[in-house]
C-alpha cells in the first residue's frame, strides 16, 4: 500500500498545502497593501483651482488640500496660523502690538513690529515675514491684514506698516502684495517627510511669499527652480497620466518630531542618530537656546558634547523621547477621536468619566482641529479653554509612585509641579542675557550664555549646565499655583518717546547709526566719539569690560547720538522674561529625591539665579505665559544682577527652609533665660545649703499618684520630649544632616497622634473623677497665696524653711503651679495640637488652614508654642528638685509614694 492510500495522510497533506497557499497569499497581499499608500493620489492646484501642470503657477495648499479637507476650518482653528493676529492690540506691554508671535516684541530678535500711526517704521508686515517667516506656518498675518481683509487687497502705501518696507537707508519702500504673493498655510511643512526648509526660508527672505510653499517641495523631483532663480518649473514626468501626483512622492504622513523641530528647534533622533551636538545658545534652535531643553532619547554620556562629569550621566536627555513618545502624543488635535479619553478632567463636562460622543473618524479627517492640546498659559495668545494637554498625572499615578517615601504626597503635588523634581538640572546651555544698549563690531548685542564655560561657539567648551529657578505658575480655571522650573533671560535696550508720546524701542538701524554712523556691514567701524569714551586702554579695540555702559559719560555719549538722530528722551530699559522648562524629564532614579534639597537652608525653592554679570539698568519682570514671579530683581554693587525668589510672597512656608526670625529669637530667649535662671537658682541653693545646715524636717510617706496618673504623665512627657526633638530636626534639618528628614516627619506625626489620644483620655479621666478641680486656681486668697509661694522660692528655700502649703493627694500643687498648669493644659497644649492638626490636614482640607492664614501663620505659631513647651519643661523638671531631696519628686512619679513634710495642721 502506498503512502497516499491512507486517508489520514492524504487529508494531512492537503491541509498543509492549503495552509502554505494561504500564507503565500497573505504575504503577497500584505506586501501589496503596504506598498499602496494610505493617502490617495492628489492634484496640485494653484490659487485659482487650476492644476499647476497647466497653469505653471505656485501650488496653493488651501486649494490642493481643500479638495478633501476643510482647509478654511483648519486655518481658523489653529493658533500656529493665527499667531496672535486676532488679539492684535491687546497686549499688556506699552509697545507690544499683540499677545502672540505676531505683535509681541521679542527683545532677543529685537526688531519691532510697527503699528499703524507709528512715527518711525521698523518692521512692516512684509519685513516681519522676511525676518521671522521661517518659523511661520503661513496663513493668519501672512495672508490677512490686521483689520481682517486680505493682504492682496491692501494698496501699496509708504505710510502704512502693512504696505511698506524699511529700506537699508532708512526710507520707506512701497510693498506690492500682488507681486510678492501671500503665504498660505503650509500643510507640507508638517505633513510630508522631507520638506525643504532651506529653500522655503530663502524664498521667504527674498520676499517671494507666494512661492514659499512651492519651494518646500524642491528636491522631491516634483518641482525645480527655473534658470532665472525666480520662477519654478513643474516636472511633468513626476505626475501620473491623469495629472495627479503620486502621493508617495510627497511622503505624506502624520507630523513627526522632526516636523515640529522645523520651527521649535532641536529634536534629535536619539539612540538611532549620531552623537548629539548642540549649538550653544543658538537662536535657530529656539527651544534649546531659551531653556536648555533637549528632545532626544540618546543617553548623555554618548553625546558629542563636552559635558561636565560626562561618564556619570548614564541617563537620556529626555525619558519620554527615549520611550519613543512623539510631540503629538501630548500636543494632539483636540478633536482627534484617538485622544478623546484621558483629558476629560479639563472639559466642561467634568462629571463624566468617559464621554462616548467623540467625532467620527471620517468627520475628523475632514475637519481636524489644529488648536492642538497645550498647557494653560503656554503662550499669551492661546485661546481660553485650550488647555487639554495631557499632564503628568494623566499618564502617571503620583500616589502609587511617591507614597512609599514622600510624606504629604497631595500637598507636594499641589504645591510643586512634577518638573521641579524631575528636571532638577539642565545639562545644556541656555541664553542668560542680551545687552542691546551696546553693539559689538558685528552690530550684535553683548550676549551671555549660562551653563557653559568658555566660548559658546566652541564645541570644546565645558558644558556644566544650570539649575533652573523655581517660579510660581497658575494652572486651570481656578488659577491654582504651583512651583515650576524656569530659565530667566534678561534683556537691556534703549527706548525713546516719539512726538505722539508713544514709547518705543530704538530701532536697530538707529542704534547702528549711533555707534557706527552707518548701517553697512563691510564699512562698519565705531565712531571716534564712541571710542573716545569706551576705549579705556586706548588700544583701538573694545573688549568685554569696555563694551558696557558703566559710566555716565558712556550713557551720555550714546544718548547724545540718538538725540542727534531725532529721538526724544532716549534712555535705557530692561526686562526679565521667564521661559518655562517642561522637557528633559528624568526618571525617578535621576530625579530630585532628597527632602533637604528644599527643606533646608540651601533650599532650591529659595535658590536664586544670576541674570547678568553686568546690568546697565535695573530691569523689570515682564509678564509671560502663566508665570507669576514674585521674587526680587537685585543689582549688586559690582553691577551684577540676580533674581531672588521670595516663597513667602507666594504664600509658601517650607519647613526647614523658612523661619520667622523673631519667633526663634523670642523662643531662644525664653528657653535659655529659663535655663540660666534655674541653673543660677540651683547653684545658689547648693551654696546656701552647705553654709546653712539645718536639722532634717519631719516627714511622712503619702501615696500621691495612682497608676494611671503615673502612666499618663510619663507617656505625655516622653511624647512631648520626642516631639520637641523631632520638631527641631524638621525646623533646622541643616543642623542634623545625618538624620533622615522624612523619618522625622513620620515619627513626629505618630507621636502627635499618641499625644492627642493620651491627652483626650486624661481629660476624660480628670472630668469623670472630678480631679480637674486640682488644676483650677481658686480666686479667694489666690493672690496672697501666690505671693507667699513666690517668697518661698525667692528666699525661704535657701534658708531651709518648709513649704508654705501642705502637699496632699487631692491638692498636690501650690498656687503658682496651678496657674501654670491651667495655662499649659487649657492653652498651650490645645493650641499646639490644633495648629499641628491643621498643618497635617492641609493636604486634605486646605481651606480650614487658609481660614487662619495658612502655613505662614500656623507654622510660626506652632514653632513659638514649641519653644514655650520646651521652656515649661525646663522649669517643670527643675521644680521636681525642690522636694525633700532633688530626686524625691521623680521617685514619687515612678513609685507613686512621696515623702512630704509634716505640717502642724496635717
Half-sphere exposure for 508 (CA within 13 Å, toward CB): 21
Show Cβ contacts of residue 385 under 8 Å, excluding neighbours closer than 6 positions: none
In a domain, 372, yes or no: no
Give bridge partners of residue 294 from the DSSP assignment.
none
Residue 521 inside a domain? The answer is: yes
How far is it, in rounded angstroms, from Cα 410 to Cα 557? 58
Segment 37-47 mean pLDDT: 90
Band (pLDDT 50/70/90 cuts) for residue 92 is low
45, 79, 83, 388, 479 from 371: Cα distances, Å: 26, 6, 11, 10, 22
**The pLDDT of residue 306:** 95
Q: Is residue 127 part of a domain?
A: no
Residue 642 within a domain: no
The answer to whether the CB of 414 falls within 8 A of the CB of 652 is no
Domain boundary among 533, 566, 599: 566
**What is the per-residue pLDDT for 2?**
44
Residues 713 and 856 in one domain: yes
Residue span of the structural domain in which 552 resides: 507-566
pLDDT confidence of residue 204: 96
Residue 652: name the closest of 596, 605, 609 by CA: 605
Q: What is the mean pLDDT of residues 348-360?
A: 67
What's the pTM value of the predicted model, to 2 decimals?
Answer: 0.86
724 and 830 together in one domain: yes
764 shares its domain with 882: yes
Q: Between 772 and 710, whose confidence is greater?
A: 710
**What mean pLDDT comes out for the span 598-619?**
93
Residue 815 scores a pLDDT above 80:
yes
CATH number for the domain including 882?
A: 1.20.950.20
Task: Answer yes or no: is pLDDT of 97 > 90.
Answer: no
Does residue 105 register a pLDDT over 50? yes
Sign of CA dihedral 448, 450, 454, 456: negative
Q: Which residue has the cell 528636491?
A: 219
Based on the domain organization, do 796 and 669 belong to the same domain?
yes
- The answer to whether the CB of 505 falls within 8 A of the CB of 463 is no
Task: Find the mean pLDDT for residues 293-315.
Answer: 93
The separation between CA 15 and the C-alpha centre of its own chain, rounded to angstroms, equals 65
Mean pLDDT value across residues 659-672: 94
- Output the pLDDT for position 54: 94
Q: How deeply is 197 buried, as exposed, middle or buried, from its count of CB atoms within 10 A (0-12, 13-18, 19+)?
A: middle
Instruction: Report the half-sphere exposure of 633 (CA within 13 A, side-chain side).
Output: 18
Smallest CA-to-CA distance from 627 within 468, 829, 518 is with: 468
Q: What is the pLDDT of residue 220?
A: 94
Give me the pLDDT at residue 384, please.
45
CA-based R_g, the chain, Å: 39
Q: Are residues 670 and 547 in the same domain?
A: no
Tell me if residue 330 falls in helix, strand or coil. Answer: helix
CB neighbours of residue 689 within 10 Å: 14
State pLDDT tens for residues 54-79: 999 999 999 999 999 999 999 999 99
Strand 568-580, strand 620-621: pairing: parallel
Mapped onto helix, strand or coil, the DSSP state of residue 522 is coil
Helices (H), 641-781: 661-691, 707-731, 741-768
Contact 79, 90 (CB under 8 A): no
Q: Answer yes or no: is 778 within a domain.
A: yes
| d(C-alpha 29, C-alpha 277), whole Å | 43
Number of domains in the chain: 3
The answer to whether residue 534 sits within a structural domain is: yes
Task: Give the end of a domain, one of 566, 588, 614.
Answer: 566
Sorting pLDDT into bands at 50, 70 and 90, what band is 690?
Answer: low
Residue 827 lies inside a defined structural domain of this protein? yes
pLDDT at residue number 271 = 62
Claim to verify: residue 706 and residue 823 sit in the same structural domain: yes
Q: Answer yes or no: do 522 and 666 share one domain.
A: no
d(CA 103, CA 83): 9
Q: Is residue 547 part of a domain?
A: yes
Amino acid at each position: 500500500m502506498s503512502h497516499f492510500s491512507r486517508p489520514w495522510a492524504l487529508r494531512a497533506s492537503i491541509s498543509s498545502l492549503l495552509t502554505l497557499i494561504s500564507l503565500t497569499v497573505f504575504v503577497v497581499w500584505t506586501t501589496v497593501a503596504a506598498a499602496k499608500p494610505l493617502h490617495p493620489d492628489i492634484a496640485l492646484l494653484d490659487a485659482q483651482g487650476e492644476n499647476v501642470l497647466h497653469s505653471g503657477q505656485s501650488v496653493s495648499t488651501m486649494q490642493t488640500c481643500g479638495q478633501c479637507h476643510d482647509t478654511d476650518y483648519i486655518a481658523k482653528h489653529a493658533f500656529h496660523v493665527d499667531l496672535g493676529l486676532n488679539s492684535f492690540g491687546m497686549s499688556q506691554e506699552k509697545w507690544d502690538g499683540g499677545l502672540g508671535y505676531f505683535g509681541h516684541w521679542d527683545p532677543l530678535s529685537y526688531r519691532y513690529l510697527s503699528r499703524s500711526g507709528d512715527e518711525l517704521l521698523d518692521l512692516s508686515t512684509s519685513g516681519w515675514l522676511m525676518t521671522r517667516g521661517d518659523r511661520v506656518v503661513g496663513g493668519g498675518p501672512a495672508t490677512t491684514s490686521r483689520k481682517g481683509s486680505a493682504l492682496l487687497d491692501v494698496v501699496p502705501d509708504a505710510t502704512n506698516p502693512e504696505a511698506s518696507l524699511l529700506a537699508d537707508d532708512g526710507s520707506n519702500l512701497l510693498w506690492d502684495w500682488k507681486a510678492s504673493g501671500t503665504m498660505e498655510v503650509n500643510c507640507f511643512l508638517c505633513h510630508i517627510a522631507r520638506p525643504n526648509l532651506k529653500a522655503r526660508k530663502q524664498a521667504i527672505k527674498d520676499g517671494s511669499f507666494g512661492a514659499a510653499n512651492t519651494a518646500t517641495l524642491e528636491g522631491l523631483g516634483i518641482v525645480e527652480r527655473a534658470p532665472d532663480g525666480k520662477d519654478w518649473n513643474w516636472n511633468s514626468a513626476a505626475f501620473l497620466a491623469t495629472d495627479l501626483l503620486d502621493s508617495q512622492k510627497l511622503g505624506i504622513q502624520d507630523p513627526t518630531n522632526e516636523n515640529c523641530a522645523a520651527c521649535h528647534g532641536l529634536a534629535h533622533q536619539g539612540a538611532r542618530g549620531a552623537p548629539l551636538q548642540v549649538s550653544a545658545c543658538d537662536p535657530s534652535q529656539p527651544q534649546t537656546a531659551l531653556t536648555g531643553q533637549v528632545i532626544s532619547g540618546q543617553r548623555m554620556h554618548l553625546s558629542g558634547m563636552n559635558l561636565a562629569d560626562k561618564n556619570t550621566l548614564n541617563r537620556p536627555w529626555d525619558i519620554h523621547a527615549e520611550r519613543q513618545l512623539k510631540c503629538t502624543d501630548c500636543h494632539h488635535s483636540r478633536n482627534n477621536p484617538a485622544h478623546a479619553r484621558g483629558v476629560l478632567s479639563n472639559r466642561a463636562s467634568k462629571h463624566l468619566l468617559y464621554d462616548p460622543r467623540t467625532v467620527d473618524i471620517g468627520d475628523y479627517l475632514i475637519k481636524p482641529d489644529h488648536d492642538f492640546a497645550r498647557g494653560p498659559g503656554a503662550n499669551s495668545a492661546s485661546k481660553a479653554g485650550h488647555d487639554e494637554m495631557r499632564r503628568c498625572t494623566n499618564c502617571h499615578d503620583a500616589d502609587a509612585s511617591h507614597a512609599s517615601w514622600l510624606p504629604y504626597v497631595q500637598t507636594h503635588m499641589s504645591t510643586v509641579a512634577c518638573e521641579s523634581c524631575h528636571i532638577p538640572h539642565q545639562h545644556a546651555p541656555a541664553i542668560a542675557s542680551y545687552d542691546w544698549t551696546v553693539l559689538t563690531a558685528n552690530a550684535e548685542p553683548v550676549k551671555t550664555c549660562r551653563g557653559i564655560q568658555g566660548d559658546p561657539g566652541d564645541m570644546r567648551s565645558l558644558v556644566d549646565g544650570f539649575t533652573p529657578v523655581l517660579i510660581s505658575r497658575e494652572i486651570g480655571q481656578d488659577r491654582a499655583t504651583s512651583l515650576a522650573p524656569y530659565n530667566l533671560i534678561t534683556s537691556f535696550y534703549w527706548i525713546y518717546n516719539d512726538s505722539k508720546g508713544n514709547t518705543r524701542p530704538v530701532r536697530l538701524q538707529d542704534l547702528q547709526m549711533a555707534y557706527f554712523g552707518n548701517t553697512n556691514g563691510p564699512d562698519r567701524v565705531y565712531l571716534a566719539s564712541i571710542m573716545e569714551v569706551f576705549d579705556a586702554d586706548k588700544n583701538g579695540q573694545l573688549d568685554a569690560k569696555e563694551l558696557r555702559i558703566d559710566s555716565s559719560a558712556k550713557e551720555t555719549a550714546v544718548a547724545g547720538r540718538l538725540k542727534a538722530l531725532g529721538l526724544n528722551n532716549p534712555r535705557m530699559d530692561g526686562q526679565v522674561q521667564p521661559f518655562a522648562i517642561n522637557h528633559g524629564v528624568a526618571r525617578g532614579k535621576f530625579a530630585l529625591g532628597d527632602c533637604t534639597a528644599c527643606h533646608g537652608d540651601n533650599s532650591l525653592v529659595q535658590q536664586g539665579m544670576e541674570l547678568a554679570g553686568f546690568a546697565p539698568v535695573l530691569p523689570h519682570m515682564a509678564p509671560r505665559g502663566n508665570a507669576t514671579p514674585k521674587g526680587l530683581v537685585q543689582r549688586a554693587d559690582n553691577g551684577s544682577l540676580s533674581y531672588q525668589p521670595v516663597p513667602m510672597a507666594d504664600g509658601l512656608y517650607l519647613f526647614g527652609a523658612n523661619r520667622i526670625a523673631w519667633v526663634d529669637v523670642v523662643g531662644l530667649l525664653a528657653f535659655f533665660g529659663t535655663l540660666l535662671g534655674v541653673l543660677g537658682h540651683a547653684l545658689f541653693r547648693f551654696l546656701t545649703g552647705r553654709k546653712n545646715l539645718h536639722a532634717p524636717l519631719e516627714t511622712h510617706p503619702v501615696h500621691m499618684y495612682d497608676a494611671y496618673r503615673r502612666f499618663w504623665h510619663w507617656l505625655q512627657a516622653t511624647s512631648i520630649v520626642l516631639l520637641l526633638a523631632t520638631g527641631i530636626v524638621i525646623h533646622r534639618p541643616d543642623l542634623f544632616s545625618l538624620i533622615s528628614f522624612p523619618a522625622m516627619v513620620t515619627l513626629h506625626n505618630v507621636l502627635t497622634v499618641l499625644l492627642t489620644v493620651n491627652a483626650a483620655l486624661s481629660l476624660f479621666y480628670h472630668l469623670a473623677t472630678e480631679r480637674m478641680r486640682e488644676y483650677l486656681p481658686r480666686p479667694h486668697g489666690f493672690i496672697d497665696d501666690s505671693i507667699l509661694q513666690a517668697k518661698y522660692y525667692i528666699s525661704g528655700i535657701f534658708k531651709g524653711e518648709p513649704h508654705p502649703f501642705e502637699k496632699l493627694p487631692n491638692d498636690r500643687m501650690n498656687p503658682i503651679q496651678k496657674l501654670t498648669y491651667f495655662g499649659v493644659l487649657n492653652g498651650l497644649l490645645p493650641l499646639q495640637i490644633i495648629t499641628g492638626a491643621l498643618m497635617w490636614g492641609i493636604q486634605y482640607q486646605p481651606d480650614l488652614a487658609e481660614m487662619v492664614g495658612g502655613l505662614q501663620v500656623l507654622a510660626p505659631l506652632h514653632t513659638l508654642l514649641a519653644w514655650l513647651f520646651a521652656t515649661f519643661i525646663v522649669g517643670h523638671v527643675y521644680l521636681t528638685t525642690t522636694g525633700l531631696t532633688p530626686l524625691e519628686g521623680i521617685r514619687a512619679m515612678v513609685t507613686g509614694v512621696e515623702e512630704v513634710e509634716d505640717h502642724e495642721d496635717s
